[in-house]
Amino acid sequence: MRYDEAAAGQIPHAIRFTLPQSRAAVVLPATHWASNSTSSNAPPMGMRLRLKASYDIAGFSTNMQVILSAMKKYGLIMADNGSAMYISGAPDSRWDNDDLHNLGQVPASAFEVIQMNPVYTASNLPQGAAPGIASFTASPTSVGSGGSVSLSWSVSNASYVIVSPQAGAVRGTSVTVQPSQTTTYTLYATNQYGRSTATVTVNVQ
């Protein structure tokens, strides 16, 4: 999560989170695991949770409601082993840490697991080539704060594409961003065999 997203009123992507235990298995979009456990009770990397639509978020602050609304619409994706239900955010002095801690009031029972199919383990992990990225460019590469920049790419054999920060999951071959500071954008192209990345930096003067 990024403060600018919350302040703008929308976090347009799933949120990364961790759990103490996991299984040696993945469900897309994950492409790795960090455990040797084969327990069917342990979650695979890439497991997606969604905050139930019926969960009442009216008692939370405006910024926390933005976060919780993203959890309802886009969900959370398990990305690593770590603290229980720990969500990740970009450091920013504008966050109110006391307010963020109010998210701890949401019980795990308020979430549901999105259907996981297929779940890949060492026994059925597909073999093939990761996506190819022919280009990832910015135009222009230097702008004033808040200026519009077109990020364009050419990829092959990708099931989906993510541009981070700001854009999130994207369709097509370009997206417009408006950086407020010099930003390095990363293009993630993923399929069932793996993930490829490319970066481009936009300088804000």
Query: Under DSSP, is residue 164 helix (H, G, I), strand (E, B) or coil?
Result: strand
pLDDT > 90? residue 193: no
Task: Answer yes or no: pTM beyond 0.75.
Answer: no
Strand partners, 127: none
57: confidence class by pLDDT, cuts 50, 70, 90: very high
Phi, psi of 64 (to 5 degrees): -70, -30
Report residue 28's pLDDT band, with 50, 70 and 90 as the boundaries: confident
What CATH superfamily classification does 132-204 receive? Immunoglobulins (2.60.40.10)
Q: What is the mean pLDDT of residues 161-183?
A: 91
Amino acid letter, 193: Y
| Residues counted in the chain | 205
What per-residue confidence (pLDDT) applies to 167? 87
Domain with CATH 2.60.40.10 in the chain: 132-204
**Residue type (1 letter), 40:** S
Sort 35 into a burial class: Cβ within 10 Å, 0-12 / 13-18 / 19+. Answer: middle
Residue type for position 101: H
